[in-house]
């Protein structure tokens, strides 16, 4: 994350789905969208206004930077007049002016804000990062000796600069954000050191800001309430966004504890050792750990519940007194940040342990998840998942169009292996089968992720007409005759004896395309003939007829 508004909307940069380039993103009203300027090498966002416009720059095919503005969902290029390269780092909420820096044809870097060129006297390069509501511009410049120094340019055009202690040792020193209270956020790096962040005022001093347990911290923006957004690197090299909010010193010290955890590649069992500043969910645990899925045991039903990144919500809450199964594609080293557990009603969990089993051909926990298509509403639907080798069957509710069915063995015995065939069926609220049976074969890739992701389309509409076996069979005195229709049609079922004599016709009327297999929907026969008399024991035949389809099966009555 590199930017935020005063209304808790955010912008920043992330990897494209194929991992080949950087693309900009916005997170507005909880909706995440990515933006990739056409034919660019990379696209970056570094500014977000309260009007929800974003700005930054993109790199063209030659690696040159061009300013970029997102307005009403559309990207447009912005080059400062006469610039060879342009980079935008700020948007004024008061005037809408863009702030950043550019390089002209002579190779000199200067700052700009709106139409105004910002050039510190006798500087070899000037960076303009942000302009506040009063028109004060902050940034940094490189003096004639190559030393970085921060500055404030007041609305009257006068500069105020600050000589930094050990200034010659800075590899860079940038001031990417300031609020109306003149509080700034600073990004800096000493030669041979890691990137660091500080917060405060240039006149009265800066204080270090560091995400506990991180390798490095980069703050990018400060809001009117003093909150900071930025990103940090965890020990495994991944980059995470953060939001730092001002709190009391007591609260800050309480939540500044860090516990480093190492997860081995594959399946691990972990617990959360510290209370989080904000409630943790399955989604946030997956984001922190880099897991492909998280699984928990619902103690009330004694069923495993899973969450994957394709889920439409944040998933179940993560509690300190419980253990969780996570699967990571690579060894992970990160830190839980928070306060010691203090609730007397919960047992304080032991420090998390990472127990991994390297079994490329089998796994002791597994999730089948995916999305359903074909129906506008799937309320009350379930997905039945059966391993044809073990005959283990689990069901999972459908949420919107998403489901996740989990199985695990806490003694770490295998529950699935390469080559297993997984059978899926979709069940309606009344238990009626609402899909064709679908089979999927487990591959090593599925086991590496501990997730088999699928998509089932055509829910509620069969791809062919079919008459199915009645149940129960043999029966006495009644039975149900299931069938499925690929098109809307009038339907009837006729019962014949072994001589071919018609015993009974069940006129089902005009039926919509669909699956008719539950007792509420299947054809029903009470074992009586057209006169209402019970028929004798023996073999009979039943025939489904529509204007374009006919199929016959056998049934048996036993008395």
Q: What is the mean pLDDT of the chain?
A: 92
pLDDT, position 250: 83
* Interval 247-255 mean pLDDT: 83
CA dist 70 and 484 (Å) reads 51
* Interval 80-104 mean pLDDT: 95
pLDDT, position 347: 37
Percentage of residues of the chain with pLDDT beyond 90: 77
Question: Does 360 have pLDDT greater than 60?
Answer: no
What's the Cα-to-Cα distance from 92 to each of 48, 98, 99, 180, 491, rounded to whole Å? 9, 7, 8, 11, 69
Structure tokens at 72: 């009403």
- Residue-wise pLDDT tens digits, 432-475: 999 999 999 999 999 999 999 999 999 999 989 999 999 999 99
pLDDT, position 258: 87
pLDDT, position 249: 83
Domains in the chain, CATH or no CATH each: 3-246 (2.120.10.30), 259-338 (no CATH), 362-456 (2.60.40.1110), 466-557 (2.60.40.4070)
Question: Does 348 have pLDDT greater than 60?
Answer: no
- Residue-wise pLDDT tens digits, 519-553: 999 999 999 999 999 999 999 999 999 999 999 99
- Residue-wise pLDDT tens digits, 379-422: 999 999 999 999 999 999 999 999 999 999 999 999 999 999 99
- Residue-wise pLDDT tens digits, 120-137: 999 999 999 999 888 889
Three-state secondary structure readout of 233-262? ECCCCCEEEEEECCCCHHHHHHCCEEEEEE
Omega of the bond prior to 445 within 30 degrees of 0, cis? no
* Interval 165-170 mean pLDDT: 87
The dihedral built from the CA positions of residue 68, 69, 74 and 76, taken in this order, carries a sign that is negative
């Amino acid at each position: 994350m590199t930017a935020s508004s005063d209304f808790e909307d955010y912008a920043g940069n992330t990897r494209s789905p194929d991992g080949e380039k950087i693309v900009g993103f916005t997170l507005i009203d909880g909706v995440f969208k990515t933006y990739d300027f056409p034919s660019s090498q990379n696209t970056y966002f570094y500014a977000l206004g309260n009007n929800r416009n974003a700005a930054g720059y993109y790199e063209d095919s030659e690696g040159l930077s061009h300013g970029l503005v997102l307005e009403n969902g559309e990207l447009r290029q912005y080059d400062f007049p006469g610039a060879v390269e342009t980079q935008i780092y700020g948007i004024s909420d008061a005037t809408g002016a863009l702030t950043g820096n550019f390089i002209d044809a002579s190779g000199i870097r200067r700052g700009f804000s709106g139409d105004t060129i910002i050039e510190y006297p006798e500087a070899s390069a000037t960076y303009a990062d942000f302009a506040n509501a009063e028109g004060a511009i902050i940034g940094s410049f490189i003096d004639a000796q190559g030393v970085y120094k921060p500055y404030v340019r007041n609305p009257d055009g006068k500069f105020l600069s600050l000589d930094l202690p050990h200034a010659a040792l800075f590899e860079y020193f940038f001031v990417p954000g300031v609020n109306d209270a003149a509080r700034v956020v600073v990004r800096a790096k000493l030669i041979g050191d890691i990137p660091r962040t500080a917060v405060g005022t240039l006149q009265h001093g800066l204080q270090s800001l560091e995400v506990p347990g991180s390798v490095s911290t980069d703050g990018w923006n400060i809001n009117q309430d003093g909150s900071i957004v930025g990103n940090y690197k965890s020990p495994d090299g991944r980059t995470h966004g953060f939001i730092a909010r001002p709190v009391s010193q007591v609260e800050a010290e309480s939540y500044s504890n860090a516990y480093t955890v190492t997860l081995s590649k594959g399946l691990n069992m972990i617990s959360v050792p510290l209370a989080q500043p904000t409630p943790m969910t399955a989604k946030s645990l997956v984001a922190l750990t880099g897991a492909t899925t998280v699984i928990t045991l619902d103690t009330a039903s004694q069923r495993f519940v899973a969450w994957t990144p394709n889920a439409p919500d944040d998933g179940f809450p993560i509690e300190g007194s419980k253990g969780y199964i996570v699967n990571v594609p690579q060894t992970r080293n990160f830190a839980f940040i928070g306060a010691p557990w203090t609730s007397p009603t919960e047992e304080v969990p032991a420090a998390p342990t990472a127990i991994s089993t390297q079994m490329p051909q089998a796994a002791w926990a597994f999730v089948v998840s995916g999305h359903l298509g074909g129906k506008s509403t799937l309320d009350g639907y379930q997905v039945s998942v059966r391993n044809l080798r073990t005959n283990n069957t689990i069901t999972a509710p459908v949420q919107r169009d998403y489901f996740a069915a989990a199985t695990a063995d806490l003694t770490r015995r295998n529950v699935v292996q390469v080559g297993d065939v997984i059978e899926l069926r979709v069940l309606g609220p009344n238990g009626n089968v609402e899909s064709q049976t679908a089979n999927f074969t487990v591959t090593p890739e599925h086991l590496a992720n501990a997730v088999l992701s699928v998509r089932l389309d055509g829910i509620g509409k069969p791809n062919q007409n079919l008459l199915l076996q009645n149940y129960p069979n043999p029966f006495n005195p009644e039975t149900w005759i299931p069938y499925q229709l690929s098109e809307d049609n009038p339907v009837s079922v006729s019962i014949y004896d072994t001589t071919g004599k018609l015993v009974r016709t069940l006129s089902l009327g005009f039926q919509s395309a669909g699956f008719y297999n539950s007792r509420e929907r299947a054809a029903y026969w009470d074992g009586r003939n057209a006169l209402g008399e019970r028929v004798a024991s023996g073999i009979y035949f039943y025939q489904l007829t529509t204007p374009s389809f006919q199929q016959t099966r056998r049934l048996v009555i036993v008395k």
